[in-house]
């Protein structure tokens, strides 16, 4: 069953190198990016991010393997100095 990694952040050019590297790494791990950067809009509440990225993986285990991989550890270094990012992992619903 599918699982998702969801990240939210403020748009910043400080993420450019990270975006390029993580996009290639997502492809390598069979992930599918489901949202477009910079299109998030808060309808209710107090939410400070303007981007939310949702990435689909084949399973919770696959998403966790991606996040825990040495390759991703190296890619994360590319976002140092960028605005804070929040990342969560979510198991897909069984309907």
Residue 24 in this model has a pLDDT that exceeds 80: yes
Residue 59 in this model has a pLDDT that exceeds 80: yes
Q: What per-residue confidence (pLDDT) applies to 26?
A: 94
Question: How is residue 25 written in tokens?
Answer: 């790494």
* Position 47 confidence tier, pLDDT thresholds 50, 70, 90: confident
Mean pLDDT of 74-84: 92
**DSSP H or E stretch at residue 71:** helix 70-76
Q: What is the CATH number of domain 3-91?
A: 3.30.70.100
């Amino acid at each position: 069953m599918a699982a998702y990694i969801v990240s939210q952040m403020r748009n910043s050019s400080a993420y450019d190198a990270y975006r390029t590297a993580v996009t290639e790494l997502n492809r390598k791990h069979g992930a599918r990016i489901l949202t477009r950067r910079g299109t998030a809009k808060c309808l209710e509440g107090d939410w400070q991010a303007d981007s939310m990225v949702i990435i689909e993986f084949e399973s919770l285990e696959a998403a966790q393997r991606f996040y825990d991989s040495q390759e991703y550890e190296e890619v994360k270094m590319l976002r140092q100095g960028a605005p804070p990012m929040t990342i969560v992992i979510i198991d897909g619903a069984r309907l």
